[in-house]
Amino acid sequence: MKHLESNNQEQIIIDEEPDITDSGSYPNERKIDDLLDNCIIFVDKQSGPTSHQIVSWVRTMLNQKKAGHSGTLDPQVTGLLPIGLGNSTKALPILLYGPKEYVAVLRLHNSVNRDKLYDCLENFKGPIYQRPPQRSAVKRITRIRTIHELEVLDEESRLLCLRVLCEAGTYIRKLVYDIGEIMQCGATMIELRRTRVMHIDEQNHFVRLHELSDAIYRLKHENDETKFRQLVQPVEFIAKPLKSITIRCSAIDSLCHGAQLAIPGILKISKGISKHDNISILSQKGELIALADALLSSDDIVNNKKGIACSTKRVIMKPDTYPKLWKNAEND
């Protein structure tokens, strides 16, 4: 049994076989049409338009039939809006697995004791109860969301600048309102910016719409792909934090047609997979084939020769990307 590092995760090699070189492609080497169908753009949303308007603009600029986003931002909210094109829209739920970070500016309606305020903020760390506001895209039922980190970045008079690292689905405006209620002074959020989703932060990956427009112009009118490739990420990028299973070429198309992944089809796994972990299923080239729920741990997979390793939740790769070797094997 061999061990190696991949995406900063230790991998266990169960078996080896030659890759099929004339099917599929390495994520960073896709042809432009294939990239357009399998890419994510981390748009730096400005204040004003809705999230759906931003998606519509991007779809129109690139002449794509299908586009979607993860995590709606209100019109006045700025920051990270992940947009998937074509086939990559099926992978956007990955971004709900990890935390999100926001920077909020709030105004307290009255002056308060600073020690009591900081004690109040400390009490909001951890699990909290929230009920979505009336104007929201989800059912208004009380639910639990986790605040991982809450800190004051700056303060002046009754203005506070907060950094919030929280579970997906947390309403920051409601959090600000609740802080005002606990302090018995009232509070209003006046600015909000999303600065991070999972491992994606604004220092490395955010794209402004005018930058994207310039890159698209070069792509369409000058046949220059360089800038566009710099601004977009292959869909596999958002799956990096997930533990993974790499499978045989002969198992890929059967998985794309709805088959479950059995242990004999596995070549390599991440160390430390536990039952019910969200995992990614990859090709030998690193292509994202599907998202799955682990039915067996890493140790179970290593120590057994039979059994279903995971339950496929969503197939990302299009069928027939790889040959139907599973069908040929049945006919032999």
Q: Which residue has the tokens 């890419």?
A: 39
Residue 291, CA atoms < 13 Å, CB-side half-sphere: 22
In terms of phi and psi (left: phi > 0; alpha: psi -120 to 50; beta: otherwise), the region of 202 is: alpha
Backbone angles phi, psi at 246, to 5 degrees: -100, 130
Catalytic annotation, pick one of 22, 34, 44, 74: 74
Query: Would you mind telling me the total number of residues written for the chain in this entry?
Result: 332
Residues 285/321, Cβ–Cβ less than 8 Å: no
Measured distance CA(287)–CA(245) in Å, rounded:
11
Q: Give the pair of three-digit tokens for residue 138.
A: 């989800």
Residue 261: burial class (beta carbons within 10 Å; 0-12, 13-18, 19+) = buried
Integer CA distances (angstroms), 270 to 5, 72, 307, in order: 9, 32, 18
Active site residue 74: yes
Instruction: Show which residues are catalytic.
Output: 74
